[in-house]
Amino acid sequence: MTPFPVDLLENIRVSLEEEKKQLVNQMSELSLQDPFANPDRLTDNAASDTEASEEYGHDRVNAILSELKEKLIDIDDALMRVGDGTYGTCEKCKNMIDTDRLSVIPTARYCNACEKTVKHTPKR
């Protein structure tokens, strides 16, 4: 198995770090949009329709944050693989992951064939 060239790995690392920074910023901005983040909310006597709207907003923000946290975990995992030299190697069969796949999904942990078999098992 041929490891990725060092210069290519560096480009991947930089790209993943940039994506991570953007995700963290997006998560911070999104957290500010959570109606439950407003401390004055607890003392106001809002109408029930306002409460329902706030609850919906809170649930929406939490759902999006959950998705972004999963992406962040995937990026951190990929960065760890870049660091330890296993990036681009399928975690199941240990073969190289197709570079076309990695260009589309830089956080891919499995080759196409293995992805189909692990897709039915829980991720974490």
59 contacts 35 by C-beta, under 8 angstroms:
no
Residue 28 structural domain: 6-118
**Averaged pLDDT for residues 56-72:** 88
Does pLDDT of 54 surpass 80?
no
* Nearest alpha carbon to residue 101 among 86, 114, 117: 114
Q: Is residue 91 part of a domain?
A: yes
Measure the CA–CA gap between 18 and 11, rounded to whole angstroms.
11
Of the two residues 40 and 119, the one the predictor is more confident about is 119
Q: Can you give the pTM of this predicted structure? A: 0.77
In 3D, which of 19, 14, 8 has the Cα closest to residue 85? 8
Q: How many domains does the chain have?
A: 1
Is 123 part of any domain? no
114, two tokens: 């293995």
